[in-house]
Amino acid sequence: MLGLNLQQLEYLVAVDNYKQFTIAAEKCFVTQPTLSMQIKKAEEQLDIVIFDRSKQPILTTPVGKKIIEQARVVINEYNRLEEIVREESGRIEGELTIGIIPSLAPYLLHRFVGHFKKHNPLVNISFREMITEEQVKALKQDVIDAAILVTPLDEHEIIEEPLFYEDVMIYANPSHRLHKAEVLTVDMLTSSGLWLLDEGHCFRSQVLNLCELQENVSADLPLHFESGSLDTIRKMVDAEGGYTLLPGLAAQELAFESHKLIKEFEVPVPLREVSLVYSRSFYKRLLLDRLSASIKSCVPEEMLHKERGHIVEWK
């Protein structure tokens, strides 16, 4: 690599990720002058300009993007060497940074985190709550190791491993016609009284697809309100009427009184596919296998099978 060392490659990737020398230095646990000097040295060694410093935030030049893309490959391959040694020795240790979407985090994390830590005490695991679009970007930049989100994504260089399948259910105010219906099918869903998560959330897109509605749906509601919280949306249904849709794990968390407002669809039920996704270059396979097994062991058995329904796409 024309004399470039691994540390310089890590600095290049960090600046490309964060677009600021100060933040990149902080993430790499070095001073900003040290990082800047090493990047300047790398540019001189390669005789190219990797970053356009005249722009704020910093821009990566076209040739710089090619260099950094290869730098990511080199770093991942180097890290893979350590992983091979761990696998051969049987040591289950390391660090994992996992992204998770907001419509899953409050209802899934507490189910498996304790189980995972108990069986993998030497693994340091952390979670970042973010919407799907942010997670895909973070995966491609190696900011997170993997993500728990709704698929299919059909993203280049991203691997999807399904974990479980949540039923999509109706949560309706007692005054709404859907609450009073004896049999519920998807074609009964309309925009009338429908409360939605705000834009950017994959479950919002799934609801719109399921209801065959457009993004600019004009719901017959007492006020216009969108939220990133399923619990907040549910409380608006309680207070103002109407209905919303809830994924299975969120529905299971409801208290008894609220649970009486849940209505299930006739078979085949709409499902959302929850998967563990990661980059094709990811090297911590053993840790991900442990994480996947832990999650599957802590969700209801029926959610491991998709034969009872059909998957609702969101893209």
- Domain boundaries defined on the chain: 6-86, 93-164+271-311, 166-270
CATH of the domain spanning 93-164+271-311 = 3.40.190.10
51-52 and 59-60 strand pairing: antiparallel
Distance CA(176)–CA(157), nearest Å, equals: 45
Cβ atoms of 255 and 62 within 8 Å: the answer is: no
Mean pLDDT value of segment 209-219: 64
Q: Is the pLDDT of residue 38 over 70?
A: yes
Q: Is the pLDDT of residue 226 over 80?
A: no
Query: Which pLDDT belongs to residue 223?
Result: 56
Going by C-alpha positions, the residue among 27, 113, 15 that lies closest to residue 67 is 15
Query: Which pLDDT belongs to residue 33?
Result: 93
CATH of the domain spanning 6-86 = 1.10.10.10
Is 166-270 CATH 3.20.20.70?
Answer: no
Q: pTM for the whole thing?
A: 0.77
Q: Do domains 93-164+271-311 and 166-270 have the same CATH topology?
A: yes
Cis geometry, peptide bond prior to residue 62 (ω within 30 degrees of 0): no
Most confident region among 129-138, 274-283, 291-300 by mean pLDDT: 291-300
Q: Is the pLDDT of residue 216 over 60?
A: no
* Residue range 143-172, pLDDT digits in tens: 899 999 999 998 888 899 999 999 999 999
